[in-house]
Structure 1
Amino acid sequence: MQVSKSENWFLKRMEEVLEWIPGGAAGAAVVAGAVALSTYYVATRPKSTPPMVPLDEQSFPEPGAELIRTSKLCRDAKDGKFLRYLYEDCRTVYDAFHRGARESNSGQCLGSRENQTKPYQWLHYNEALLRARNFGCGLTHLGLRPGAYVGIYSQNCPEWVLTEQGLYCYSMIIVPLYDTLGVEVCSFIIRQAEMNTVVCGDDQKINMILDQAPPCLKRIVYIGEVKKDTLLRAKKQGIEAIKFEEVEKLGSANINSYPEKPPKADDICTVCYTSGTTGNPKGVMLSHENVIADVSAVMLQLGEHKPNRHDVMISFLPLAHMFERCCQIAMFMQGGAVGFFCGDIRNLMEDMKALKPTVTPTVPRLLNRIHDKVMSTVNGSFVKRNLLRMAINSKLAEMKRGILRKNTIWDTLVFKKVQEGMGGRVRLLVVGSAPLSGNVLTFVRCALGCVVVEGYGQTECVAPATLTIQGDCIPDHVGPPVACCCVKLVDVPEMEYYASAGQGEVCVKGTNVFKGYFKDPERTRDTIDRDGWLHTGDIGMWLANGTLKIIDRKKHIFKLSQGEYIAPEKIENIYIRSIYVSQIYVYGESLKSCVVAVVVPDVETVKEWALENDIPGTLSVLCNDERIKAMIMEDLIQLGKESGLKSFEQVKDIYLHPDPFSVQNGLLTPTLKSKRPQLKAYFKPQLEDMYSKLD
């Protein structure tokens, strides 16, 4: 093992002590003490952990022009034999939950608490299994059959998991709904999947469903307390409202009449609708094998850091999305426990202090807040700023030698509050949903002294298709492919990206690739080609060490730092209706939480308004006038509200530019479409300036 500078210093001092020890009994005592101290140091000194694969060659490059890369943890992947499962007794999500019960010896499974002042109460695995089966049996008694689609519209809670597992007991399919879909889209999903039953979390969500309930909806199962007026409203619409516990009782009373019918690996387990595009959302059909393969591949890549039966995970990211679902399934597969936050994200840290999780799925927005809070605390003090810099440099140097720990002097002096703010026991942090900037990733790894991995994927390939390797301290990439799939890049000539140069559209093939879009074969064909490759729409590049870096988006749809999808062209089509706007370019990026815009004002309309308000000047002068900017901004926001834009879709700042985008200046195509990469480069200073003021 390589000896560090601090260890070398300690050994030299011990040699000096041994040279000066006296003889006799006193000398013997000193020798014994020195030996004991040396033994203790050697036994407790930090040990380096070798990475799972060589960090300078993290994936296998396959021969051929397509430049396909596969995981080094699954040699058969080179022959197209991708990982399907990790354990023989775990081929479906139903199996995963039952395996957890065995692994944990019916230990703690689902935890929740009524409010911030109460302790966590736990359902153990066997109790959760019984309740889930009773719930599934109750739905079967009410007329549902294997293959039925059942909606769930609820915040994360134990009943969410009980619903899902209950459906799997009888080979039914869960279809999550969530707030940002809106009333019309939720109605569309219920109608398209011909759901007659939806499980709802509270009174507000029930009323949202009732606002546009399609004729096929016959039953709402509610979890929380519901007002009498709401129950009466449902009855008037011909919809039965039944309490969650009543369904369980029905199942318990009829359990012998309906034996379980567990699903097969190739059965559909969920239809997960993706938002973010214009028009109706797409229902991603995922099989049990898809999900288990992806979860298994991630656990294989985590190695000794994967979840175990002693772990506790906090659940606060939406269960309607596959990232959180996969993290929970991994916990259940290993017999770990999952505790749910109380529902208010503003009090998340209080929930973490009470739960003391060891595993935490998270998104960049939360980590950005932690980073920014620490930085704002130290920026006013030269001493604190330099102490933080020394702490990060020291811990980063250890990480580069494969040492990861949270018991250094820096953890006590500098990082203790950050660690305690997240419960003090976090050992594994999984980051998904959007990219995390390199400086924040390095800070989090140093501050928490835990494994932090970042993945890349999308719902169409369950969750991660790539994942960073523990021990790789270089940020700003998303790691190599996981063992259930391979990745290649294909040419995007219109954006000047070519696979021969190691750049192109990211395409994924493997056991985690979805079965198609629900009742939408045309869009399925547009996304999965005839050779089985999923075309993600993201632009990536291979780095020299075999890892993937995401550098652009083909279809100009991206996520904000909180995970919300933005379609800039949709927003532009709304804002362009403003009488004051001639041209507009809406911009955002995945490291930011909002969007901004460059606006070319309509010359005549703006000059007329300026004249009426006694504001003189040419268009160039008017573009720099804050009154003009405020007037146009107000008009855009009003148009956005009238057109149903959500708050995160509305621009938070604009830059007024007097000269039109044109073919001549390279900002428009010959067909007069915006050349987005060129607009981004041309207005880079203005975009950066707007974001610097908003940060």
Structure 2
Amino acid sequence: MPLKYTLEVKDAPSIPGEGKPRRHFIQGDKPLLSAPEGINSLYENFLRGVKLAGDDPFLGHRTVVNGEAGEYEWESYNKILERVKNFGAGLIHLGLKANDTLGLYSVNRREWVIGEQASYMYEFITVPLYDTLGAEAVEYVVSQAELRFICLTQDKTEHLLNMREALPGLEHLIVMDALTDNLVTLAAEKKIKLHLFTDVEKLGVEHPTAIGSATLDSVATICYTSGTTGLPKGVVLTHRNILAEVGAINYLMEQKRFYRITKADSYISYLPLAHVLERVVIQVLIYYGARLGFYQGDTLKLLDDLAVLKPTVFVSVPRLFNRIFDKVWATVTAKGGFGAYLFKRAVRTKTDNLATGSTNHWLWDRLVFGKLKQSLGGNVKVIVSGSAPLSAEVMDFVRIAFNAQMYEGYGQTETSAAVTFTDIDDTKSGHVGSPFPCSEIKLLDVPEMGYSSLDKPCPRGEVCTRGNNIFTEYYKDPKRTKETFIHIEKDGEMVNTGWCRSGDVGMWDEQGRLIIIDRVKNLFKLAQGEYVAPERVENIYSTHPIVTQAFVTGNSLESCTVGVIVPDEDSLKALLQENSIDTKRDIADIYQDPAAQKLVVRELTKFAKKHDAKGFECIKHVHLEASPFSVENGLLSPTFKLKRKEAQAYYMNHINAMYEELKKK
């Protein structure tokens, strides 16, 4: 079958062990895209938004009075431009210079964006700090990035002041919300200069200064990856890297391959701004002069924020979409009767219609899916999922339930967010689309895992990327930089080819779309010689209604896998009741009940095999865990990825006990 969504680069050499590079089908052999025409820095990107929107709303927030959040209050593009200019000038008056680093440490809010835009205007380098970073990681980032200035919220201020002895280079803390007498006293004791954010703006009014001279090749940010092992790595991204993403999306819009964003669109910002995905999304929306409303900082109140803001653009991660899918089906199953019959018929009809590219239905959208659509505010026109693979079943459901254009992207911090994206006309799920027009992709053989770029009909291998959105280096870490980029020998020296290894295993399907199927490093061998890719099995389990989180493990001394499952309590109880297992007791007793554990194993095995898992991949014993994996307990990274090494150590006693019990049988 001829390729539809990607094209091989015609003149690329054939290299043993590698597939030929592929590009987006409308890009072909034309040069890879960079920044949008006429935009030479992220500051100029902001000026374009100001020119388009002017006095129209830009940043919105909800004021909370007596515990009740009101309507969104907005500041215009022109107003924010004035605040950005003043804040940056104020920082310069305090001693920050071009190419110095500026820390940003808070949940999403106006001041975060103002601080970021001021950095682009005056050529500072932003260093986001994850809202959930532990003390060790904070100390590492602040020290390595040589942060003297950090903008942060009151709660983070006390945290950093108490770490003062470990952060000798820290000089200024700019507090976004409010100062207390205790904080002022503590800062004086710790010899740290404390400033209110608005006071720094006033300094800028009193001491205006010329803007910086950032170019496309200037460093915009050092974005530390959360990492699932060890300390975070500082990914150095330039203005060109981030703007290449904006240019690619703009090109896809011009070619009518993506939803057309205008200044009439609105967006809710709740994904952490410390992650490159959210920052790139915001740069895209700024380019078109769209509105950005912030959530209250509490995900438990997100639905209320959505109901008030009524955004047209919604970007989220599989974790949320999986939760929606599980909760809806659990409710439908519990309800039963004619209502459940209607819902299932609506899903079946609309799913069948996806084959023809249709996502709407004159009856079912009003009768069955209307209330669900309102949960995202009722006005969402385009939904994007990123950060991790989304199962085909869940993606199809989101498409039909919300009757919106649905896209999925794939990428990493090192690729400035997306390096692939799905197409407007492609309603088939289970893949992550084709390369962004600013980049190209090739697959490298992984012989130890049995993956080859020569596999027929679908080539497989490690995903490698090259393009204008690919990072330049890991900050102060040449060893890991060299390991990540492919080098070749030229004139007696090893030369960086620009090809970046992802660590992910991908497969080109028969229409030239990329499917992420594995991880190169997260592989273990069982005693009989079979290799298991645990992430694949965990992704399958996580789409079952009874599973909230999953951890699958094994080793070469054992012949099977075992697992830790964090159940959805309501769904698990429903399953147990169907099988006559008592649920009218303490949940801890239920989770330790061998009958409940056996039922979960049986149910998940049956489910996994329906999703093409092999028998040896399926867990043979389970530990049911009441406490979710979280950033706080060290089992998740700040991007909510399982920290496998930590999970292995944390549950080692349970893992050993499960294997001992299996040997007795």
TM-score range normalised by the length of the shorter chain: 0.7 to 0.9
- 1:548 aligns to 2:501 (yes or no): no
Please say if residues 409 and 433 of structure 2, whose CA atoms lie closer than 8 Å, have aligned partners that are also in contact.
yes
Tell me how many residue pairs correspond in the alignment.
553
- 1:59 aligns to 2:6 (yes or no): yes
Deviation at 1:400, TM superposition (A): 3.3
SS at match of 2:287: helix
Partner residue in 1 for 2:42: 93
1:326-405 matches, within 5 Å, as 326-379=280-333, 380-405=335-360
Please say if residues 179 and 196 of structure 2, whose CA atoms lie closer than 8 Å, have aligned partners that are also in contact.
no
Q: Deviations over 1:612-659 (max 9, x none)?
A: xxxxxxxxxx997999xxxx979999xx99996569655788571249
Amino acid in structure 1 at the alignment position of 2:198: E
The CA distance in 2 between the partners of 1:242 and 1:98, in whole Å, is: 28
Change (3 A) 1:463 1:644: closer
Please say if residues 586 and 595 of structure 1, whose CA atoms lie closer than 8 Å, have aligned partners that are also in contact.
no
Change (3 A) 1:72 1:468: same
SS at match of 1:478: coil
1:189-204 matches, within 5 Å, as 189-204=141-156
SS at match of 1:75: coil
Selected match of 1:154 from 85, 106, 114 = 106
Partner residue in 1 for 2:490: none
The CA distance in 2 between the partners of 1:626 and 1:425, in whole Å, is: 42
Deviation at 1:494, TM superposition (A): 1.2
Amino acid in structure 2 at the alignment position of 1:365: R
Q: Deviations over 1:502-529 (max 9, x none)?
A: 1100000000110100011111010012
Partner residue in 1 for 2:451: 497
The CA distance in 2 between the partners of 1:642 and 1:363, in whole Å, is: 19
SS at match of 2:132: helix
Q: Deviations over 1:660-685 (max 9, x none)?
A: 99xxxxxxxxxxxxxxxxxxxxxxxx
Q: Deviations over 1:580-633 (max 9, x none)?
A: xxxx99877356353435579x99xxxxxxxxxxxxxxxxxx997999xxxx97
Amino acid in structure 1 at the alignment position of 2:25: K
The CA distance in 2 between the partners of 1:191 and 1:423, in whole Å, is: 42
The CA distance in 2 between the partners of 1:641 and 1:264, in whole Å, is: 37
Deviation at 1:97, TM superposition (A): 1.1
1:423-442 matches, within 5 Å, as 423-442=377-396
Q: Structure 2 stretches of 5 or more lacking a match? A: 487-495, 526-531, 543-547, 559-591, 598-621
Amino acid in structure 1 at the alignment position of 2:478: P
Change (3 A) 1:659 1:633: closer
Amino acid in structure 1 at the alignment position of 2:339: K
Change (3 A) 1:305 1:599: closer
Amino acid in structure 2 at the alignment position of 1:536: S
Deviation at 1:101, TM superposition (A): 1.0
The CA distance in 1 between the partners of 2:49 and 2:475, in whole Å, is: 31
- 1:294 aligns to 2:245 (yes or no): yes
Normalized per residue, the structure richer in helix is 1
SS at match of 2:35: coil
SS at match of 1:330: helix
Partner residue in 2 for 1:516: 473
The CA distance in 1 between the partners of 2:310 and 2:366, in whole Å, is: 18
Q: Deviations over 1:326-349 (max 9, x none)?
A: 111110000101000011101111
Partner residue in 1 for 2:504: 538
The CA distance in 1 between the partners of 2:374 and 2:39, in whole Å, is: 36
Please say if residues 623 and 656 of structure 1, whose CA atoms lie closer than 8 Å, have aligned partners that are also in contact.
no
The CA distance in 2 between the partners of 1:417 and 1:263, in whole Å, is: 48
- 1:207 aligns to 2:207 (yes or no): no
Please say if residues 465 and 499 of structure 2, whose CA atoms lie closer than 8 Å, have aligned partners that are also in contact.
yes
Partner residue in 1 for 2:262: 308
The CA distance in 1 between the partners of 2:119 and 2:533, in whole Å, is: 46
Partner residue in 2 for 1:456: 410
Q: Deviations over 1:106-131 (max 9, x none)?
A: 31100001235300000100000000
Change (3 A) 1:585 1:660: farther
Deviation at 1:177, TM superposition (A): 0.2
Q: CA RMSD in A?
A: 3.3
Please say if residues 462 and 506 of structure 2, whose CA atoms lie closer than 8 Å, have aligned partners that are also in contact.
yes
Q: Deviations over 1:383-423 (max 9, x none)?
A: 22332233233334444334444x72111100001111111
Deviation at 1:471, TM superposition (A): 2.1
SS at match of 2:369: helix
Change (3 A) 1:297 1:408: same
Normalized per residue, the structure richer in strand is 2
Change (3 A) 1:295 1:210: farther
- 1:104 aligns to 2:53 (yes or no): yes
Partner residue in 2 for 1:82: 32
Deviation at 1:248, TM superposition (A): 0.2
Amino acid in structure 2 at the alignment position of 1:509: R
SS at match of 1:85: coil
- 1:656 aligns to 2:652 (yes or no): no
Amino acid in structure 2 at the alignment position of 1:395: K
Deviates more, 1:232-241 or 1:320-329: 232-241
The normalised TM-score by structure 2 is 0.77
Please say if residues 269 and 295 of structure 2, whose CA atoms lie closer than 8 Å, have aligned partners that are also in contact.
yes
Selected match of 2:177 from 203, 206, 224 = 224
The CA distance in 2 between the partners of 1:491 and 1:550, in whole Å, is: 14
Partner residue in 1 for 2:575: none
Q: Deviations over 1:310-368 (max 9, x none)?
A: 00000000000011111111100001010000111011111000000000111111112
The CA distance in 2 between the partners of 1:165 and 1:112, in whole Å, is: 18
Deviates more, 1:148-157 or 1:304-313: 304-313
1:615-634 matches, within 5 Å, as none
Change (3 A) 1:206 1:75: farther
Partner residue in 2 for 1:125: 77
SS at match of 1:385: helix
Amino acid in structure 2 at the alignment position of 1:260: I
Amino acid in structure 2 at the alignment position of 1:124: S
Amino acid in structure 1 at the alignment position of 2:310: K
The CA distance in 1 between the partners of 2:466 and 2:158, in whole Å, is: 39
Change (3 A) 1:73 1:210: farther
